């Protein structure tokens, strides 16, 4: 399955050319920093998506970001869903987030980076995706110039979580360098990618999203109707450039 179906963001006019940022940041979401984050609103990513991005599904207060999915039509879709992205693009370094997902078949909760044709760049991407029909697993993937792995089989791989992501917060991290991507779950290395054709090279924005589908059932399962608002909760998110160490105490870079 080409996961870009659900992850390529249609970007609004005025943020199509990203600035390149290389300063470390740690966001604990006491509020939603509008200078850092742009919230998608008013469109969906294709016919496969059964929800419309909506600003009312992205909120931050009291130290928690909530990226939601809720009943209630918007545009031509039955549901509203949430996505946000950084306004600037980040290059090599360590990307981290501590989050908890809802559960439910036909939903995708994602923490990922992306850049693409909307910004005049090739499609590069690095993913953590939880298909919430099974919250005991997370999928990791990269895309390079629009191709996953070797372009035939793909670079997707599933990993067992230490506990279901809807039961408690899990910390996800990856370190991206010119010749490798290392994925971590709760500080434990779970995957190393070092084949050059699987390593992105273009600076990317950081995304969080929660969306659903009625059609991608082979990949995400039959959609279970959502009758009340649900959300992915993000406790914090952070970036540390490749040449810096231990920028904040929660980072994997601060481990012995």
Sequence-distant (≥ 6) Cβ neighbours of residue 215 within 8 angstroms:
47, 48
Buried-state track 103-139, b at ≥16 Cβ within 10 A, e below 16:
bbebbbbbbbbbbbebbebbbbbbbbbbbbbebebbb
Q: Is the pLDDT of residue 111 over 90?
A: yes
Which helix (H) or strand (E) segment holds residue 217: the answer is helix 217-220
Rounded (5°) CA angle 209-67-205:
40
Model confidence at 178, pLDDT cuts 50, 70, 90, reads very high
Q: Is the pLDDT of residue 20 over 80?
A: no
Per-residue confidence (pLDDT) for residue 3, from 0 to 100: 42
For the whole model, what pTM was predicted?
A: 0.92
Per-residue confidence (pLDDT) for residue 148, from 0 to 100: 82
Model confidence at 10, pLDDT cuts 50, 70, 90, reads very low
Per-residue confidence (pLDDT) for residue 93, from 0 to 100: 97
CA-only gyration radius of the chain, Å: 17
In angstroms, the CA 220 to CA 217 distance is: 5
Q: What are the structure tokens assigned to 48, written together?
A: 């496969």
- Residues facing 73 on adjacent strands: none
The set of catalytic residues is 125, 129
Residue-wise pLDDT for 74-106, tens only, equals 999 999 999 999 999 999 999 999 999 999 999
Mean pLDDT of the chain: 91
- Residues facing 236 on adjacent strands: 98
Mean pLDDT value across residues 122-149: 94
Model confidence at 22, pLDDT cuts 50, 70, 90, reads confident
- In the chain, what percentage of residues exceed pLDDT 90? 84
């Amino acid at each position: 399955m080409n996961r870009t179906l659900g992850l390529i963001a249609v970007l609004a006019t005025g943020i199509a050319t990203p600035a390149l940022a290389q300063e470390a940041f740690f966001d604990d979401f006491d509020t939603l920093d509008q200078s850092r984050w742009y919230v998608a609103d008013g469109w969906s990513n294709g016919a496969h998506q059964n929800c419309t991005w909506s600003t009312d599904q992205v909120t931050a207060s009291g130290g928690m970001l909530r990226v939601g999915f809720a009943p209630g039509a918007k545009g031509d879709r039955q549901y509203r869903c949430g996505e946000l992205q950084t306004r600037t693009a980040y290059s090599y370094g360590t990307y981290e987030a501590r989050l908890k997902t809802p559960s439910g078949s036909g939903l995708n909760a994602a923490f990922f980076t992306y850049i693409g044709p909307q910004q005049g760049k090739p499609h590069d991407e690095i993913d953590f995706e939880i298909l919430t029909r099974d919250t005991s697993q997370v999928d990791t993937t990269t895309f390079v110039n629009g191709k996953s792995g070797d372009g035939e089989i793909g670079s997707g791989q599933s990993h067992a979580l230490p506990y279901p992501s809807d039961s408690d917060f899990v910390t996800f991290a990856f370190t991206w360098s010119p010749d490798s991507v290392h994925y971590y779950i709760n500080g434990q290395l779970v995957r190393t990618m070092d084949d050059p054709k699987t390593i992105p090279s273009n600076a990317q924005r950081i995304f969080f999203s929660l969306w659903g589908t009625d059609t991608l059932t082979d990949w995400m399962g039959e959609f279970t109707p959502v009758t009340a608002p649900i959300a992915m909760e993000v406790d914090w998110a952070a970036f540390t450039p490749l040449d810096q160490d231990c920028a904040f105490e929660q980072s994997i870079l601060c481990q012995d």
